[in-house]
Amino acid sequence: MPDISMVRPFPASAVPQWDFATDVAIIGFGATGACAAIEARTAGARVLLFERSSGSGGASALSGGEIYIGGGTDAQRAAGFDDTVEDFTAYLKLAGGPCVDEAKCELYGREALDHYQWLKDQGVPYRGNFLPGKHIEPTDDSTLIWSGSEAAAPFCHAARPAPRGHVIQHVGWGGGRPLVNILEARARDLGTEFHCDARAVALITDGARVCGAVVRIDNTNRFVRATKGVVLATGGFVFNDAMRRKYCPDSFRVNSPIGDKDDGIGIELGVSVGGDAIHMDQFFTTCPWTMPESHAYGVFVNRAGQRFINEDCYHGRVSRCAVDQDGGKVYLLLDMAHFVQPLDLAGITIAGTGNTWEEVEAELDMAPGTLSATMAVYNTHARAGRDPLFDKQVPILTPLDQAPFVALELNFATSYFSFFTLGGLRTSTDGEVLDRQGQPIAGLYAAGRCTSGLPAWGHGYSSGMSLADCTFFGRQAGKAAAA
C-alpha cells in the first residue's frame, strides 16, 4: 500500500512550477469521479481527472451496478408500485439511523427521478422490468429488485414499501463495471482529460482556498493548478488498517474488504485542510446468506440460541446485526422445506442437524430450552402469521417445522463477510467539504465513500444506496466545483 503518512497541505507559494492547469481537478475515477467530470464539463469547465490505478473503476466497478431510486420510476409504475417522494424520503431517513443527513435525504428524495433520467441520458440502459423475490443481484438483465428493508419492520410502518434497487441492463452479476465504462466514455467524450497511475498526495492551498493538488506520476511530484476547485472522489478506508484501528475498530470482526486501494487518502487530504470526518465508526457488511433464495426464510440465532433481528429485512442489515452478536458466529436455522446446500463462495458450513430442534440445540452444545424454546415460540406464532418478538412479516415469516432440521454457521472470521467503510468527510448537499464548524472549505469538494452520505449507518444500508450517493452527489460536487 502506498504510504499516506505524510498528508499535509502544500503551500502554493512553494510550488516550483505548475505542471497542469485546469478549472476542476478530480481525484479518483470511480462512478463518483466520472459523474463529477460529466457535470463539470457540461458546465463548461476544463476538467482534469487523476486516478491512481491504471484505469477507471474504483469500488464502483466491483459492485452490482445497482442504484437506489424511488418516488415512482417507470419500472416501479410498470410493476404496479405506487412509490412516492414522501415514502422514498422517509425510507432514506430511517436508513440513515442516528447518523442521518436529513438534507441529503430530502434533496435526493426530490431529485432521484431526474437523476434516473440523467443516468439514462448518459447511456445507462435499463430493461425496465421488475424481478420479484429476494435477490442480491439479478442473474439475468432485470432492472428493479427489492434491495433493502422496505417491506420489513420498522421501515414498512413508516414508509409504504416499494422496491427501489435499479440495476443496469447487464446479464448476470457485476453490472458495476459496465456502468463505470458508460460513465467513463461519456466523461471522455465530453472532453475530460484523464491521467491514470497518478496518485494525489497533497492539496495545494494559497491561504484563502484550495487551488490545486500535488499528484505523484512516474515517481515525480506534479503540480496541478485547479482554479475553480478540487473534487475528492477516492472512496473509503477499508484497506487502511491503521485508520480502521483508530476510527472503526469493530470492522476487524469481519474479514473481506471490498474496494480498490481504498486507503482513505481522500479523507486524509480533506482533513489536512480542515475538513471534518464524521461517523467514522460506521461500516457496511454482508454475507450472502439469502442464496439460495429459500434460505431467506430461515431464522437466525446467536450462540445463546436467541433471535436478534427480523430476518426479512435486508441481508446486509441482518449481517450487520449478526456481527454485533458475541461469540464470533451466528446460526441460520432451516427446515427441509427450505434447506439447500449453501453456496461455496459464502463459506457457510453445516454446524448441526437433528430431527427435532432439541436435537439441533444439543448438537450445537446449547443448553436445553434455549434454541428449542426460541423455535417453539417462533413456529407457534408463525403459524398464525405473527412474530411478536421482531415483527417479521408474511410471507417470509413461515414455520420451520418440517424435519429434519439444520443449523448453518456464519462465522465472522471464515464465512464471506464482505465489508467497506461508510464514515468520511462531512459535505454540504452541493458537495462542498465542510470544516468542523460547518463552513465550506473554499475550493474543495467531495462525494462518494470518502464522505459520509446517504449510506451513513451500517445497520440501515440497502443495496444501491452507495452508488446512488456516488452518482448523485458526485454530480453535485462537479457542478458546484465548475460554478
Instruction: Give dist(CA 232, CA 431) in Å, integer.
Output: 10
Q: Does 306 bind a copy of itself (CB under 8 A)?
A: yes
The only residue of 366, 422, 470, 477 in contact with a copy of itself, by rule CB under 8 A? 366
Q: How far is CA 425 from the centre of its chain?
A: 16
Q: In terms of C-beta density within 10 A (0-12 exposed, 13-18 middle, 19 or more buried), how is residue 74 classed?
A: middle
Q: Does 426 bind a copy of itself (CB under 8 A)?
A: yes
Binding segment (CB under 8 A) for a copy of itself, from list 55-63, 224-232, 275-283, 473-481: 275-283
Binding segment (CB under 8 A) for a copy of itself, from list 52-60, 201-209, 360-368, 473-481: 360-368
Instruction: Please tell me the total number of residues recorded for the chain in this structure.
Output: 483
Q: Which is nearer to a copy of itself, 132 or 368 (CB)?
A: 368
Q: Does 6 bind a copy of itself (CB under 8 A)?
A: yes
Beta strand spans in 412-483 (E) = 418-421, 424-425, 432-434, 440-446
Count of other CB atoms within 10 angstroms of residue 152: 24
Q: Does 379 bind a copy of itself (CB under 8 A)?
A: no
The only residue of 132, 191, 249, 404 in contact with a copy of itself, by rule CB under 8 A? 249
Instruction: Give dist(CA 407, CA 305) in Å, integer.
Output: 11
Binding segment (CB under 8 A) for a copy of itself, from list 40-48, 69-77, 84-92, 387-395: 387-395
Q: Which is nearer to a copy of itself, 132 or 327 (CB)?
A: 327
Q: Does 18 bind a copy of itself (CB under 8 A)?
A: no
Q: Which is nearer to a copy of itself, 206 or 324 (CB)?
A: 324
In the window 189-218, what residues touch a copy of itself (CB under 8 A)?
none
Letter for the amino acid at 6?
M
All three cell numbers of 445, joined, read 469538494
Quickly list H helices, 190-340. 241-247, 265-272, 315-324
Q: Which is nearer to a copy of itself, 117 or 380 (CB)?
A: 380
Binding segment (CB under 8 A) for a copy of itself, from list 50-58, 103-111, 353-361, 435-443: 435-443
Phi/psi-derived region of residue 135, left when phi > 0, alpha when psi is between -120 and 50, beta in every other case: beta
Instruction: Give dist(CA 459, CA 313) in Å, integer.
Output: 11
Mention every residue, 6+ apart, whose C-beta is less than 8 A from residue 148: 68, 91, 95, 155, 164, 165, 314, 462, 463, 464, 465
Shortest approach of a copy of itself to residue 249 CB, angstroms? 3
- Measured on CA atoms in the order 394, 399, 405, 408, is the torsion positive or negative? positive
Instruction: Give dist(CA 195, CA 434) in Å, integer.
Output: 27
Letter for the amino acid at 243?
M
Shortest approach of a copy of itself to residue 377 CB, angstroms? 5
Interface mask (CB under 8 A) for a copy of itself, residues 62-101, using x and -? -----------------------------------xxx--
Shortest approach of a copy of itself to residue 319 CB, angstroms? 17
Shortest approach of a copy of itself to residue 24 CB, angstroms? 26
Q: Does 106 bind a copy of itself (CB under 8 A)?
A: no
Q: Does 397 bind a copy of itself (CB under 8 A)?
A: no
Q: Does 153 bind a copy of itself (CB under 8 A)?
A: no
Binding segment (CB under 8 A) for a copy of itself, from list 24-32, 87-95, 274-282, 290-298: 274-282
Q: Does 260 bind a copy of itself (CB under 8 A)?
A: no
Instruction: Give dist(CA 299, CA 32) in Å, integer.
Output: 37
> Rounded to the nearest 5 degrees, what angle is found at the Cα of 236, between the Cα atoms of 291 and 122?
75
Q: Does 438 bind a copy of itself (CB under 8 A)?
A: yes
Instruction: Give dist(CA 34, CA 19) in Å, integer.
Output: 23
Binding segment (CB under 8 A) for a copy of itself, from list 32-40, 68-76, 188-196, 241-249: 241-249
Shortest approach of a copy of itself to residue 370 CB, angstroms? 6
- Which residue's entry shows cell 446446500? 341
Binding site for a copy of itself (CB under 8 A): 5-7, 97-99, 246-247, 249-250, 252, 268, 271-272, 276, 278-281, 304-307, 324, 366-370, 373, 376-377, 380-381, 388-390, 426, 436-438
